Structure 1
Amino acid sequence: MLDIRALVERVGPTLLRTVVAPEPGVCVGDVVIAEPDQPPTAAGGDLVLGVAIPDREHAVALTRDCGAKGAAAVLLKPPISADDAVAAAARDAGVALVEVRPGTAWAQLVWLIRAALAGTDIEEADAPTAGVGDLFRLADAVADVVDAPVTIEDARSQVLAYSARQDLTDPARISTIMGRRQPDDVLAKFRARGTFRQLSKGSSAIFVPAQQDGTLPRLVVPIRMGGELLGSMWAVVPGEVSEERSTAFADTAPLVALQLLRWRAVADGERRRSAEQVRLLLEGGEGWRAAANELAVPAEAHRVVAIEMPPSASPAEGHRLAMWEWITRGIGRRPLVTEIGTMLYALVPDRGRAGGWPDLRAALTSHDVSPRPLIAVGTAVAVAELPQSRSQAEELIGLLRTGQLQQRVAVYEENWHLLVLSRMAGAATDAGIGALGPLPVLREHDRTQGTEYLATLHAWLRHPGDPRQASRELRVHPNTFRYRMKRLTQLVEVDLEDPNVRSALFAQLLADRWAQHG
């Protein structure tokens, strides 16, 4: 265990300065936050932080109470820490008085002291490679400062970390923790109160009163760095918070912002590495097996999902990934993703249990995203054959892009008939079949005279013997349709009774339409 002198040395003179020296051999137990007008909950050896101590009188009373309870030291900020009466009270009570340097965030101090007490190097606790665990420990430190359970959230209200004591909150907070994001109905209520508008403009703590549905009050602080809103911290409080404690909560924001930037840098690096390995799986070749091992892809059938945003949407990577994270939240382990060109690709196991293709399909079809992305899914294949599933998804994206498919989620094996027609039309176009027979005459007549003979013939071939259905497809009266067919057969000589002629004409018209869409 550390004594006061050793602890001050480890945390460093840039943050702490001893005003009244401690008794020899007094070891530090834990960190306690003091409340004004309340006796401290300190026990023997505790460090008592005067986070919300407003003046000399409260500081003197605090040091006396701490001495009576055997606390090791009281930590205060200037100018109270330099007050002669406070120092005298500390000497009389046998308690060390330590000054916390101006500008030091209380949460940072709690974090570093606990790191020192746990035997963790201060450099390690303040390392530039912060992970998720660091954010959770930081959330605990912030919660101690504000004396309330806290969540740290990103700019999209997704929970990155949360402190202990969440059982003392309300159903809205519990739902937030369980879903790792504030529920939509809760967000709507805070938006209606203008909370997010205040977050976007200010930097101080915002108090949100209790709501009629039982949602407890919140103290909210924006997290910024260089003008960018990185996220926010939300504390569930029992009621109005003192100005001192509210200020202390807001003062923790720069420290949290630094850690969020560090966490984001680590997460971005991991995401890029993962995306590169997924890209190797989709491209095939010699590196696929090593990529599968690094990603821990299970040896089971997978599908490739291809997603393309329409031209009217933002092409930025962040936009596509944000949309994907929103769609897939709550389905278990999120599918592995990568971006190649303008396309987002995901690998999803073709299994019925949690996190498999049925879960993802339900999520893709239930979320109404605007503008609506184009989503296509290849067949289930072994991991080694993922390039095949990718090419199938891309073929369907082509049909969605040209409007020949209108589905929200196009699945390869469910659209085989359209794929047959598409490939046949492509081959027919390459073979130049459009120049044969009567179609060139009808095509030229439509172009010069404004008629619609090609569309009329296509509808007649699609609905043989059913002029009412054919006319409905063209949105004309059945008599108009019959008249067009009569004029068409007068313009060109064609035997529509011959099944081979009908098949040839249909292939030509299909190739024509596919070429126009392409």
Structure 2
Amino acid sequence: MVDVQALVERVGPTLLRPVTSPQVRCDVADVVIAEPDDPRGVATGDVVLGVGITTERQAVELTEACGGHGAAAVLIKPPLCTADAVCRAAEHHGVGLVEVRGGTAWAQLVWLLRAALAGNEVPDSASEPPRLGSSGAGDLFRLADAVAEMVDAPVTIEDAHSRVLAYSARQDLADPARISTIMGRGQPEDVLAKFRARGTFRQLTKGGSAIYVPEQPDGTLPRLVVPIRMGGELLGSMWAVVTGEVSEQRASAFADTAALVALQLLRHRMLTDSERRRSARLVRLLLDGAEGWRSAANELGVRAEPHRVVAIDVRAGDGMDEGHRLAVWEWITRGVGHRPLVAESGGVLYAVVPDRTGPGGWPALREALLAHIHELVPESSRPLVAAGTAVAVAELPTSRGGADEVLGLLRAGLVDREVAVYEDLWHPLVLTRMAGASADAGIGELGPLGVLREHDRNHGTEYLNTLYSWLRRPGDPRTASRELRVHPNTFRYRMKRLNELVEVDLDDPEVRAALLVQLLSELWNPHGRS
């Protein structure tokens, strides 16, 4: 059994959004449809759908009546679900209030809710959606076969990121674009570029009917494309390979199947999200070394061999959103050979990977990350990848700590690598640990840095950054100036002015070491300079 919160999470934010929570947690018993003026069929624990609600008064009366009958929650469409009177009634009577996204079909929602209540199993025939022809609609592949039979053309079902979720068995019309799409589990970039140039994806985001895409000059066969939507969200699309222009009846029949495919895509999302949450919960036990980690390792099938924790910061750069984070997650989960175990925490993805050669091991994953991870995110974003040291399963928290420490170096710009590995970066780790330990001792107040810091603050100069670059690249002003993105003459002038502001013997190796520790301490001190 599940409560209201878990039920809403299973169906997902595409369709449902909690407005108020029930005062008492209880398991959901059933999904019922109540008449606005006759809620007598409502029982304790029921989730009640306000199908016939059209006025605020009806919404208030239904909410009050459901609270009196012990219902778990009332589901109402906007704008009534957020009306003050309705919210007050829900809170006063202790019943949950859930918003049903506009445009959602009640019949589809009933089916999805009952599927979620049944533990994601296929509902019985009384609540199962209609079938297409003789083929069952129990999974996306059978559904693709059914749609292909209806429109007499090979079909692929893709998500909103053009990744293939399912395809029909028939291959009588297969061009290189379709073959590469199926083999690569997604449309190749050159194929996507052709459809973008024709405005196909722009039409998908705006319309709801089938789109005909003529044959391409390179021999790519014509396509019939239909968007798949639910509750206003574009969930994906269906692509049928055709021989030429199709009749209006055939195009309409293809478009009509989108509603049923939308149900299955949401169901697919429910199943995927449920499995991901379960796996992520177990992975977190391993990462934290929490009680029950041994059982988690057994359930996940983690073998008794060295593993690494790999941290991927997918928040870096501009343009990163939840869709891109999910794309990275799914790509890692699909893995290289064997699937890595992945969990997310604070916008960072953590993968637990065996430290061995061969499919699914750290060397294969590292190579794949270097080669492909930039394909999954906008060009303006730069994912940061940090790997902890190889440890026994019981010591995975130590590896995670190492990955986080290396990730800190990448975030601070202290190292510049596509994939940073703990044991390769011992020297900056020594310096930054020493600087971090010195920060609380007030070492930044010693020597000339206070004068330079105050001058930078009052005059907008960059003497601290200039000195730091000089210390990292002594005797190499060209490289140091490139790091600061200034001309070498500008860099030399800054160093000349710096020596006029403060008296410091930069020829003394102990002075240079002390200044470097102080500057590193400032970089790592959250209350230091920005």
TM-score w.r.t. the length of structure 1 is 0.65
The 5 Å alignment of 1:19-98 reads none
Tell me which of 367, 388, 402 is aligned to 2:398: 388
Give yes or no for contact 1:328–1:363 (8 Å, CA) kept in 2: no
Establish whether residue 419 from structure 1 lines up as the match of residue 435 from structure 2. Answer: no
Unmatched 5+ stretches in structure 1:
1-119
SS in structure 1 at match of 2:391: coil
The 5 Å alignment of 1:488-499 reads 492=503
Tell me which of 210, 233, 237 is aligned to 1:205: 210
CA distance in structure 2 between the partners assigned to 1:289 and 1:322 by the alignment: 30
Q: Deviations over 1:437-490 (max 9, x none)?
A: 5655666677779988767766676566788988898834798588568757xx
SS in structure 1 at match of 2:203: helix
Name the counterpart of 1:187: 192
Name the counterpart of 2:233: 228
Query: Residues 468, 319 of structure 1: CA spacing in aligned structure 2 closer, same or farther, 3 A cutoff?
Result: closer
CA distance in structure 2 between the partners assigned to 1:197 and 1:445 by the alignment: 52
C-alpha displacement of 1:159: 1.2
CA distance in structure 2 between the partners assigned to 1:154 and 1:452 by the alignment: 48
Q: Bigger shift: 153-162 or 454-463?
A: 454-463
* Aligned-partner residue type, residue 423 of structure 1: R
CA distance in structure 2 between the partners assigned to 1:478 and 1:149 by the alignment: 63
Give yes or no for contact 1:374–1:409 (8 Å, CA) kept in 2: yes
* Aligned-partner residue type, residue 167 of structure 2: Y
Name the counterpart of 2:408: 398
Give yes or no for contact 1:327–1:363 (8 Å, CA) kept in 2: no
SS in structure 2 at match of 1:166: coil
Name the counterpart of 1:258: 263
C-alpha displacement of 1:196: 1.8
Tell me which of 295, 298, 316 is aligned to 1:293: 298
Name the counterpart of 2:272: 267
C-alpha displacement of 1:418: 0.8
Q: Bigger shift: 384-393 or 448-457?
A: 448-457
Give the structure with higher Rg (CA).
1
TM-score w.r.t. the length of structure 2 is 0.64
CA distance in structure 1 between the partners assigned to 2:435 and 2:190 by the alignment: 49
CA distance in structure 1 between the partners assigned to 2:158 and 2:236 by the alignment: 5
Unmatched 5+ stretches in structure 2:
1-121, 131-135
Give yes or no for contact 1:327–1:364 (8 Å, CA) kept in 2: no
Name the counterpart of 2:312: 307
SS in structure 2 at match of 1:240: coil
* Aligned-partner residue type, residue 174 of structure 2: T
Query: Residues 200, 310 of structure 1: CA spacing in aligned structure 2 closer, same or farther, 3 A cutoff?
Result: closer
C-alpha displacement of 1:282: 0.9
C-alpha displacement of 1:425: 0.8
* Aligned-partner residue type, residue 189 of structure 2: D
Name the counterpart of 1:7: none
Name the counterpart of 1:126: 128
CA distance in structure 2 between the partners assigned to 1:188 and 1:464 by the alignment: 47
Name the counterpart of 2:152: 147
Aligned length: 394
Name the counterpart of 1:61: none
- What is the root-mean-square deviation of aligned Cα atoms in Å? 3.8
C-alpha displacement of 1:161: 1.2
* Aligned-partner residue type, residue 221 of structure 2: L
The 5 Å alignment of 1:355-394 reads 355-366=360-371, 367-368=373-374, 369-370=377-378, 371-394=381-404
Give yes or no for contact 1:310–1:373 (8 Å, CA) kept in 2: yes
Give yes or no for contact 1:216–1:237 (8 Å, CA) kept in 2: yes
CA distance in structure 1 between the partners assigned to 2:477 and 2:415 by the alignment: 25
CA distance in structure 2 between the partners assigned to 1:199 and 1:177 by the alignment: 21
Establish whether residue 164 from structure 1 lines up as the match of residue 169 from structure 2. Answer: yes
Query: Residues 418, 477 of structure 1: CA spacing in aligned structure 2 closer, same or farther, 3 A cutoff?
Result: same
CA distance in structure 2 between the partners assigned to 1:473 and 1:159 by the alignment: 43
CA distance in structure 2 between the partners assigned to 1:153 and 1:122 by the alignment: 27
CA distance in structure 2 between the partners assigned to 1:508 and 1:374 by the alignment: 26
Q: Deviations over 1:55-82 (max 9, x none)?
A: xxxxxxxxxxxxxxxxxxxxxxxxxxxx
Give yes or no for contact 1:328–1:360 (8 Å, CA) kept in 2: no
The 5 Å alignment of 1:320-335 reads 320-325=325-330, 331-335=336-340
C-alpha displacement of 1:194: 2.0
Give yes or no for contact 1:176–1:183 (8 Å, CA) kept in 2: yes
Q: Bigger shift: 463-472 or 495-504?
A: 463-472
C-alpha displacement of 1:406: 2.7
